[in-house]
Amino acid sequence: MSEVTLLVLDAKPPPRLGRLTGRARVVHADEASLAAQLPDADVLLVWNFTSDAVRRVWPGDGPRPRWVHTASAGVDHVLCPELVASDTVVTNARGIFDQPIAEYVAALVLAMAKDLPQTWDLQRERTWRHRETQRVAGTRACVVGSGPIGRAIERTLKALGVITALVGRAPRTGIHGPEDLDRLMARADWVVCAAPLTDETRGMFDERRFGVMQPSARFINVGRGALVVEEDLAQALSKRWIAGAALDVFEHEPLPPDSPLWEAPGLIVSPHMSGDTVGWRDELGAQFVELYERWEAGRPLLNVVDKKRGYVPGR
């Protein structure tokens, strides 16, 4: 068997691939050089998972890698019609971010329920102002997205005593279908979006959906920015249709300084960090090496994406 060429679309810091020394020819590319190097690669590791360079250059001339792995849960930044139609296998980082994101969502729920942002603001002002806060146990949550991240969020919120309903692409045991979403949102104190970005889900949280929610409800998005019509969310907050929101993902990242979202009342903005705990890059690198060893041995890959659906099928 000829030497395998592993092409890495770089980001800093680079992945630790020492276990592959002598087993693959590892070459590196940036967004500018990816197109020229892609035809010579057997495997592509998309380490720079914020880049859409793969989508842009995949339709070019020449052969293409047999396997593409992205070091992220979402795959919308790599999929394009030509890649979907090809026989190239696509895998993702399913399993790495589940519990960290669930913990982050729980932290946001507690912070909003206990009014921690105002507590910090008042502390900076040296103002003593007693308030009453919300009890979390007994509230209701609607979690949209029934993949591993959504299920981890469901488990973690249930541990806080939150009555949680999970909504997926199709109804099955323990999971509601899309037809139940509006009804569940109308009763929820917390609406949490952890859905993949597909043609069906793009812009699903819009003016109509925010109008369905209770005035006391909060919205949290840890899925993909384009799932939300951001102008409609800003309007819902400014008109007090909902009580608050937290966004960790945005349609355009970094969020531009002139975005009205920075000043939307009741909105917590965080820079796409909900899954990034200490050591997360090492976990991503180790996961890829384990997948590579399966591929090298001719064993079935894990985390294989259904390219037409845009995610890894699960229960």
Question: Which sequence positions are flagged as catalytic?
Answer: 224, 253, 272
In this structure, how many other beta carbons lie within 10 angstroms of the beta carbon of residue 72?
Answer: 21
3-class SS at 115? coil
Beta strand pairing status for 25-29 and 5-9? Answer: parallel
Q: How far is CA 54 from the centre of its chain?
A: 18
- Burial of 314 (C-beta count, 10 Å sphere; 0-12/13-18/19+): exposed
Contact by Cβ (8 Å): 66, 85: no
DSSP 3-state assignment of 174?
Answer: coil
On the 0-12 / 13-18 / 19+ scale of CB atoms within 10 A, 24 is: middle
Q: How many CB atoms lie within 10 A of CB 147?
A: 21
Return the bridge partners of 164, or none. Answer: 141
Q: Is the Cβ–Cβ distance between 141 and 189 less than 8 Å?
A: yes
Q: What are the structure tokens assigned to 48, written together?
A: 């720079």
Query: How far is C-alpha 300 from the chain's CA centre?
Result: 25
Strand partners, 306: 311
Residue 87 is encoded by which pair of tokens?
């026989």
> Residue 244 pairs with which residues in a beta bridge?
218
Alpha-carbon span 267 to 256, nearest angstrom: 16
Distances (CA, A) of 277 to 99, 100, 281: 10, 7, 9
